[in-house]
C-alpha cells in the first residue's frame, strides 16, 4: 500500500479551545478511510483542515504538518490543493444551472477542457462513474435543482470527479438521503476507490462497517483508535471505541 496523506502532530483550535489534539494519521492511496465518532469530536474540522477550508475563519488556528505525496499542503497554492483534495458536504449543493453546466463549470473555469466534444466526453464519463448517466442522459439541460435529492448528491460527486481530484473528502454525504439513495451513494463510493483515495466521515456505524477499509475512531478531539474496519468492529482495543460502536453513546 502506498501512503497518500501523512498527518503529523496536528493540533487545531477555535479560539483557545483545542478541538483536535496531536493527531497522527496516515491515509493510504485508494483506500476508504472511515472517520467515526460522536458529535463535536473533530471529524469535520479534520476534513476542513485537509483541504484548508478553515483558512478564512479567524477563530481557527492549527499546528503540525500535513503532507500530500510528501509535499507540505500548507505551502501549496490553495486552489491547487483543492483540485487535488476535494470535499463533498452533507447536503447536496448543486449550482442553480443545468445538470450539464454543473459538471463543466469548474473544468471550464480551470481551463481543463478545450472543446465542446471534450466537455461531452467528461460529462458522460463522470455521470457514468456515479451511476447517474442512465437516469439523466435525456435531460442534461434540466435544472439540477429539479432532480431528486439523491440524484443531486450523486451529481455533486460527479462535479467533483470532473476536476480529477486525487483525494475526496466526504462529510456525512448520506445524512439527508433516503435508504435507496444512500445505497446508491455507497455503491458509488465503493466503485470510486479504484481511482481515488476517500476519507469518509459518517455518523452511521453500520454504514462505516459496510464501506471503509480502515476506520479511525475520534472522541473529543483525540484519535482513540485506528485499524482495519473488521478488526476495529470485532475486537476494539479501547473501551470507548467498544461503547461507541455498540451504541452505548453517541
Ligand X SMILES: Nc1ncnc2c1ncn2[C@@H]1O[C@H](COP(=O)(O)OP(=O)(O)OP(=O)(O)O)[C@@H](O)[C@H]1O
Contact residues for Mg ion (CB under 5 A)?
Answer: 43-44
The distance of closest approach from Cβ of residue 40 to Mg ion in the complex, given in angstroms and rounded to an integer, is 8
Say whether residue 41 binds ligand X (CB under 6 A). yes
Q: Report how far apart the first and last C-alpha atoms of the chain are (Å, whole number).
A: 32
Report how many residues bind ligand X under the rule CB under 6 A: 13
* Least distance CB 221 / Mg ion (angstroms): 13
Q: DSSP state, 109?
A: H
Q: Which three cell numbers stand for residue 93?
A: 449543493
Give the residue, chosen from 3, 24, 40, 246, that forms a contact with ligand X under the rule CB under 6 A.
40
Residues sharing a CB contact under 8 Å with residue 183, sequence separation 6 or more, in sequence order: none
Whole-angstrom distance, CA of residue 48 vs CA of residue 68: 15
Burial class (CB in 10 A: 0-12, 13-18, 19+), 9: exposed
Instruction: Considering the complex, state which of residue 48 and residue 83 has its C-beta at the smaller distance from ligand X.
Output: 48
Torsion angle (degrees, nearest 10) of CA 36, 40, 41, 42? 100
Q: Which does 193 bind (CB under 5 to 8 A by kind): ligand X, Mg ion, none?
A: none
Among 23, 42, 154, 214, binds ligand X (CB under 6 A): 42
> Nearest distance from residue 86's CB to ligand X, in Å?
18
Length of the chain: 250
- Helix 99-109 with 116-129: angle, nearest 10 deg: 120
Name the one range near ligand X by CB under 6 A: 3-11, 42-50, 150-158, 183-191. 42-50
**19 near 49, Cβ under 8 Å?**
no
Output the smallest distance, CB 19 to ligand X, in A. Answer: 4
CB of 39 to Mg ion, least distance (A): 7
Q: Which is nearer to Mg ion, 45 or 182 (CB)?
A: 45
For residue 87, the minimal CB distance to ligand X (Å) is: 13
As a whole number of Å, the CA-based R_g of the chain is 18
**Torsion sign (Cα): 20, 23, 29, 32:** negative
Q: Pick one of 13, 14, 62, 74: the residue that binds ligand X (CB under 6 A).
A: 14
Contact 142, 136 (CB under 8 A): yes
55-94 binders of ligand X (CB under 6 A)? 57, 59
Half-sphere exposure of 110 (CA within 13 A, CB side): 17
Choose the binding region for ligand X from 32-40, 101-109, 121-129, 177-185 (rule: CB under 6 A): 32-40
Q: Please, which of residues 164-203 interact with ligand X by CB under 6 A?
A: 203
Q: Which is nearer to ligand X, 100 or 170 (CB)?
A: 170
Nearer to ligand X, 37 or 150 (CB): 37
In the complex, the residues that contact ligand X under the rule CB under 6 A are: 14, 19, 37, 39-45, 57, 59, 203
Amino acid at each position: 500500500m502506498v501512503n497518500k496523506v501523512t498527518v503529523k502532530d496536528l493540533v487545531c483550535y477555535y479560539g483557545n479551545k483545542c478541538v483536535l489534539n496531536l493527531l497522527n494519521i496516515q491515509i493510504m492511496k485508494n483506500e476508504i478511510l472511515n472517520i467515526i465518532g460522536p458529535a463535536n469530536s473533530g471529524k469535520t474540522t479534520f476534513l476542513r483542515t485537509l483541504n484548508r477550508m478553515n483558512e478564512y475563519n479567524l477563530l481557527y488556528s492549527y499546528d503540525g504538518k500535513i503532507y500530500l505525496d510528501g509535499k507540505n499542503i500548507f505551502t501549496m497554492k490553495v486552489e491547487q490543493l483543492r483540485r487535488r483534495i476535494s470535499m463533498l458536504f452533507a447536503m447536496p449543493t448543486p449550482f442553480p444551472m443545468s445538470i450539464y453546466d454543473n459538471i463543466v463549470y469548474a473544468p471550464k473555469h480551470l481551463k481543463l477542457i478545450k472543446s465542446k466534444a471534450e466537455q461531452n466526453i467528461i460529462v458522460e464519463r463522470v455521470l457514468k462513474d456515479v451511476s447517474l448517466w442512465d437516469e439523466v442522459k435525456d435531460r442534461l439541460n434540466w435544472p439540477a435543482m429539479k432532480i431528486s435529492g439523491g440524484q443531486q448528491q450523486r451529481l455533486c460527486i460527479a462535479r467533483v470527479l470532473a476536476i480529477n481530484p486525487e483525494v475526496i473528502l466526504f462529510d456525512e454525504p448520506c445524512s439527508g438521503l433516503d435508504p435507496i439513495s444512500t445505497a446508491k451513494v455507497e455503491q458509488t463510493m465503493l466503485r470510486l476507490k479504484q481511482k481515488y483515495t476517500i476519507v469518509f466521515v459518517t455518523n452511521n456505524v453500520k454504514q462505516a462497517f459496510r464501506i471503509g477499509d480502515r476506520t479511525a475512531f475520534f472522541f473529543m478531539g483525540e484519535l482513540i483508535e485506528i485499524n482495519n474496519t473488521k478488526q476495529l468492529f470485532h475486537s476494539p482495543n479501547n473501551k470507548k471505541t467498544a461503547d461507541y460502536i455498540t451504541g452505548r453513546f453517541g
